[in-house]
Amino acid sequence: MKFKIDENLPVVFATDLKAAGHDAETVRDEALESAADDIVLAACDRESRVLVTEDLDFANVVAYPPERHQGIMVLRTRFQGLGALSAFRRLVIPNLNAPVAGQLWIVDDSRVRVHKAASP
């Protein structure tokens, strides 16, 4: 699976994903720091990458409908940055055999909530 780690997360998130056998880049790798959310998400979609972020704007399913994207993971843990790494390692990495495309994953300290596209 392919991932893009947003600028609000440490590079170690990409390192962990690579160690687990995934393709992971950071927003910094493409010089997209400070780019508008739409530009970051468009780069993810163009590259078929799941966005991993702490930016709560991406949890807005009206602004960013999950079915239109390759996948979005929003970390809403008590501690940010490196503090979120424990939950990511425990709850996300072992479950990456599940489909992510077209879904919004909200990751908190103890669980992952998955929002899928509404059925017609």
**pLDDT tens digits along 47-99:** 999 999 999 999 999 999 999 999 999 999 998 888 899 999 999 999 898 88
Q: Are strands 50-53 and 23-26 parallel, antiparallel or unpaired?
A: unpaired
pTM to 2 decimals?
A: 0.92
Mean pLDDT of 95-115: 92
> Domain residues of the chain, as ranges?
2-116
pLDDT value, residue 9: 94
Residue type, 39: I
SS3 96: coil
